[in-house]
Amino acid sequence: MKTLIVGGTGMIGSHTALHLRDEGHHVTVAARTPVAEDSPVAGFPVLLGDYTAGTFTETDLGQFEAIVFAAGLDIRHKPKDADEDEFWERTQTGGVPRFVALAKRAGVGRVVQIGSYYHQVMPELVERDPYVRARSRADEGARALADADFNVSTLNPPSILGVIPGASTRRYAKIVDWADGALPDVPNFAPAGGTNYLSVRSLAAAVGGALQHAESGKRYLVGDANLTFREYFQAVFDAAGSSIRLEERDEEHPFMPDSAIVPGRGHVLSYEPDPADTELLGYPRGDVERALDEIVAAVRASRT
């Protein structure tokens, strides 16, 4: 299948590109800038464009049988001085459905959107959180375009564990330094609360399954392990070989500030994905520990 991955140079997009290539897809990555030499997808065909600016054309997209949309921006990407309503309209609420509508006009047969889990697990957040509301509307707007000839589905994953060279490795490097005792000013605790975690390998497999088997117009809640934040940070420490045992405190942590905990500190956002959906999509569960071992090894390899 000729498949385009929008956001194909990001952490999720890169892993998905590699997985789909191994499954036999003819993969092209779409990105706003040329691919870096150390990118996992260096050497893949590249289509330059920016969905938020409307630079893709029907001709660009019409050469593909399927598109994976892995470029949805989140709260980490919003500039502090940006107009919130404009930013979310351009990147989520309006931007995603406009891109999917363009794909439909271009004759693309299948689109898999990678969204986010908040609005599906905690729909009450839609009314009070602009980011969650934008994700919800992007999901609904894209799937509303589905019909018998245009298969559109959404995968709504939780916190994704994985790295590629660059920002994602640097983000985990701070936690590994902390586990190694190199950051003595960071106290050894985790904030109250927790969530579900899924490895990027599992998510990439779910994308492959959705391209083959997803019901058009359906959203799928995917996930793996429910962990408190203390359990999550402790698992990183264990993977790093640390003997430190972390405690839980109901206070803000420098590596997980309250602004990054969408449901609010102290809330454990846990759930179990539908077993039938998991079987249909064909993604592995029980992969979090392996993913954290891989992340720690990648961080340490980046220092050599």
Q: Are 217 and 263 in the same domain? A: no
Please tell me whether residues 210 and 249 are part of one structural domain. no
Quote the pLDDT of residue 73: 72
Beta-sheet strand order (sheet of 194-199): 159-161, 194-199, 225-228
Tell me which residue range forms the domain holding 30.
2-161+198-223+273-281
- Residue entry with tokens 């949309």: 69
CATH classification of the domain holding 27: 3.40.50.720
Query: Could you tell me if 71 and 218 lie in one domain?
Result: yes
The pLDDT of residue 75: 67
End-to-end CA distance of the chain: 38
Whether residues 204 and 147 fall in one domain: yes
Please check whether residues 15 and 63 belong to one and the same domain. Answer: yes
Relative to beta strand 110-114, strand 66-69 is parallel
pTM: 0.95
Q: Do 202 and 190 sit in the same domain of this protein?
A: no
Number of domain units in the chain = 2
pLDDT at 77: 66
Whether residues 277 and 135 fall in one domain: yes
125 and 187 assigned to the same domain: no
Is 111 in contact with 85 (CB distance < 8 Å)?
no
**CB-based contacts of 155, cutoff 8 Å, min separation 6:** 112, 113, 114, 115, 203, 206, 207, 210, 219, 220, 222, 281
Tell me which DSSP letter residue 198 carries.
Answer: E
Q: What is the pLDDT along the chain (304 residues), one digit of tens a residue?
A: 999 999 999 999 999 999 999 999 999 999 999 999 999 999 999 999 999 999 999 999 999 999 999 997 776 766 777 778 898 899 999 999 999 999 999 999 999 999 999 999 999 999 999 999 999 999 999 999 999 999 999 999 999 999 998 777 888 999 999 999 999 999 999 999 999 999 999 999 999 999 999 999 999 999 999 999 999 999 999 999 999 999 999 999 999 999 899 999 999 999 999 999 999 999 999 999 999 999 999 999 988 7
Q: Would you state the pLDDT for residue 171?
A: 85
Helix, coil or strand: residue 81: coil
Tell whether 61 and 203 lie within a shared domain. Answer: yes
Q: CB burial class (10 A; 0-12, 13-18, 19+) of residue 114?
A: buried
Query: Tell me, what's the pLDDT at 165?
Result: 84
